[in-house]
Amino acid sequence: MMINLGTSLKTSPPAAAAMTVAGAEPPPRRRRRPLLPYGLLLPAAAILALTLGYPLLRLVLISLQDYGLRSLFTGVVGWAGTANYIAVLQSPDLTPVLARSIGFCAALVIGTLVIGLGVALLMRQLGRRMRAAVMFALIAAWAIPNVASTLIWQWLFQPVYGVVNWLLTRVGVLGDLTQHDWTTSAFSAFTLVWLLVVWQSVPFVALTLHAGLTQIPRSYYEAAAIDGAGPLRVFTTITLPFLRPILGLVTILSVIWDFTVFNQIWILTQGGPSGRTTTLGIWTFTTAFSKNSFGQGGAIAVVSVVLLIAMTAVYVRRLVRSGETI
């Protein structure tokens, strides 16, 4: 009697399906995200929505209105639509002010990061007492309100009575500078503001990067020293990769703070000489309060916010990605 092995080994479709299901791994279940983190973030989100969300919505509304000096007295506000934005985009002042704002912001961010990183690396090499003294000096400089520090800076560089002019005159390298006004040229005025803003911003960057440096294990540096790696090699292969997420964070914060610098420029130069230190913040203020065109001033402010979001979006995305890989 012949038995067809091919036929006997065949199984019915339901049996085959059962065997396949039984042998396969069950599909992974989607984890339900806990709601507790969102609940903890809700109070802070509500406060931010009230303190930042409402003013921003109000700003957008004003930028779409014909809001001027007459509206303040009569309470009657006309609807302008996109007329304010068209006037701003067609203004001949837009291109130089925008280029000036971006260039000055880049100079501030680069200077703050380079000097802050250098101070953080120096603090790592100092002894305990000297490091504590440097940290105290940084915190003291950081704690001074920017208006007060700007007024002190203005007095230091003041013609006739300025301490800096007096010291430079005593040195004699640049001649007699007792009557020199540092705000008469755009380059020296921007240099004056740059020194002030960087001096105010370095403490936060230096302390933050120093905290990141303390988290790098000493064993990595000891292994690099045994392998004969030089200081530059150690910095590029050990220090910089560990600090990359923190550098991304302080870069984003520096761009946000430096792009919106107002007090220091307004107190020291008020946008002069001849408007050559006017940035977007100064342009917004003078348009709204000097020309009493609050609608156009609001439009400039909205454009500044959009540009700031566009400038920081790439860095925020990279920071989130680097945080996910850590």
On whether both 134 and 71 belong to a single domain, the answer is: no
DSSP 221-247: HHHHHHTT--HHHHIIIIIHHHHHHHH
| Residue 138 and residue 67 share a domain | no
* pLDDT number for residue 31: 66
% of the chain residues with pLDDT over 90: 59
246 and 150 share one domain: yes
pLDDT classification of 34: cutoffs 50, 70, 90:
confident
Same domain, 124 and 203: yes
pLDDT of residue 322: 63
Q: Which of 27-31, 108-112, 142-146 is least confident?
A: 27-31
- Does residue 23 belong to any structural domain of this protein? no
Over residues 206-228, mean pLDDT: 92
Rounded average pLDDT over 302-307: 93
Nearest Cα to Cα of residue 76 among 62, 61, 66, 64: 66
pLDDT of residue 68: 86
- 209-to-130, 160, 243 alpha-carbon distances in Å: 18, 40, 7
Same domain, 162 and 294: yes
Q: Are residues 53 and 120 in the same domain?
A: no
- Looking at residue 4, its pLDDT comes to 47
- What is residue 26's predicted lDDT score, i.e. its pLDDT? 57
Over the stretch 83-112, which tens digit does the pLDDT of each residue have?
999 999 999 999 999 999 999 999 999 999
Looking at residue 114, which CATH number applies to its domain? 1.10.3720.10
Determine the straight-line distance between the first and last CA of the chain, rounded to whole angstroms.
Answer: 69
Separation between Cα atoms, residue 152 and residue 198, nearest integer Å: 15
Tell me whether residue 63 is in a domain: yes
- Residue 147 in any domain: the answer is yes
Helix (H/G/I), strand (E/B), else coil: 123:
helix
What is the pLDDT, as a whole number, of residue 313? 84
Domain contains 14? no
Report d(CA 12, CA 52) in Å as an integer: 67
Across residues 222-229, what is the average pLDDT?
89
* Domain final position from 53, 81, 109: 81
CA 226 to chain CA mean position, Å: 39
pLDDT at 288 over 50: yes
Segment 70-79 mean pLDDT: 84
Least confident among 68-82, 123-137, 151-165: 68-82
Question: What is residue 38's predicted lDDT score, i.e. its pLDDT?
Answer: 86
Question: Are 149 and 293 found together in one domain?
Answer: yes
The pLDDT of 127-146, averaged and rounded, is 92
Question: Other C-beta atoms within 10 Å of 134: how many?
Answer: 17
Q: Is residue 158 part of a domain?
A: yes
- Per-residue burial over 53-65, b if 16 or more Cβ lie within 10 Å, else e, is eeeeeeeeebbbb
Domain that holds residue 183: 92-325
Residue 67 has pLDDT above 70, yes or no: yes
Residue 316: pLDDT over 70: yes
At how many degrees (to 10) do helices 94-125 and 128-143 cross? 160
pLDDT at 323: 58
CA distance 282 to 97: 9
pLDDT at 79 over 50: yes
- Residue that terminates a domain, selected from 46, 81, 116: 81
- Please tell me the total count of domains within the chain: 2
Helices (H), the chain: 5-9, 13-23, 36-48, 54-63, 69-74, 83-89, 94-125, 128-143, 146-156, 163-171, 186-213, 218-226, 231-234, 240-259, 263-268, 280-285, 294-325
DSSP 68: B
Question: Does one domain contain both 309 and 161?
Answer: yes
Q: Does any domain span residue 199?
A: yes
pTM: 0.83
Which residues are CB-contacts of 184 (< 8 A; sequence separation ≥ 6)?
Answer: 273
Domain match, 133 and 282 both: yes
- What does the pLDDT read at residue 264? 94
pLDDT at 196: 95
> Which candidate, 109, 103, 304, places its Cα nearest to that of 197?
109
Domain shared by 208 and 277, yes or no: yes
Mean pLDDT of 259-265: 93
